[in-house]
Amino acid sequence: MSQLEILEFPDPRLRTLAQPVTVFDAALKTLVADMFETMYAAPGVGLAATQVDVHQQLLVADMSENSDHPLVLINPRILEKDGEQVYQEGCLSFPGIFADVDRALRIKVAAHDADGGEFVLDVEGPLAVCIQHEMDHLVGKLFVDHLSLLKRTMLLKRMEKKRRQNA
């Protein structure tokens, strides 16, 4: 296993549209293992393939307290969503910044696992936020896109300032 490099905003590759996974082979399993290693090391609770510059519809997540509930969603599709929640989100591609985002409270999502099997997942609360956030990455959308222009400008300035301080 190896850790992958995480693309950071404003890298234009974060805007790439991911393609469906069609081959469920050993290389895919290696990619999944590497993405988990990268996510846990960061540390983070979700990672989309887009963020490691692989433009396939694949995401990993683990919102559990002890990091022992790994979840892989390949070619995820939202079947149903309802309700509303506001949750403070962060993103490994935006180190150090957090913002409240409106999302659906509950989602029903269909996906493939790493062997190509299909499953349906009903989730709500923070895990539903996480999956919606990571699914956005697969279509080139970022969490700051959900914010007002004013809020977004403020946050990005703050991130730029932090980056200069760390440089």
| Residues belonging to the active site | 134
DSSP 8-state code for residue 17: P
In DSSP terms, 60 is beta-bridged to 47, 72
Cβ proximity to Zn ion: between 75 and 132 the closer is 132
The size of the interface with Zn ion (CB under 5 A), counted in residues, is 1
In the complex, the smallest distance separating the C-beta of residue 86 from Zn ion, rounded to whole angstroms, is 17
DSSP code string of 59-126? EEE--STTS---EEEEEEEEEEEE--EEEEE--TTSTT--EEEEE-SEEEEEEE-TTS-EEEEEEETH
Stretch that binds Zn ion, among 59-67, 73-81, 86-94, 98-106 (CB under 5 A): 86-94
Give the nearest distance from C-beta 145 to Zn ion in angstroms.
11
Residue closer to Zn ion, measured from CB, 61 or 91 = 91
Residues 28-67 that bind Zn ion (CB under 5 A): none
Q: Stretches 13-21, 73-81, 87-95, 116-124: which one binds Zn ion (CB under 5 A)?
A: 87-95
119 CB-contact burial (10 Å; exposed 0-12 / middle 13-18 / buried 19+): exposed
Alpha-carbon distance of 74 to 102, in angstroms, equals: 24
Q: Smallest distance from the beta carbon of 50 to Zn ion, in angstroms?
A: 9
Q: Segment near Zn ion (CB under 5 A), from 16-24, 90-98, 120-128, 146-154?
A: 90-98
Look up residue 21 and give its two tokens. 């996974």
Compute the Cα dihedral for 109, 58, 44, 101 and give only its sign. Answer: negative
Q: Is 91 in the site for Zn ion (CB under 5 A)?
A: yes
* Binding region for Zn ion (CB under 5 A): 91
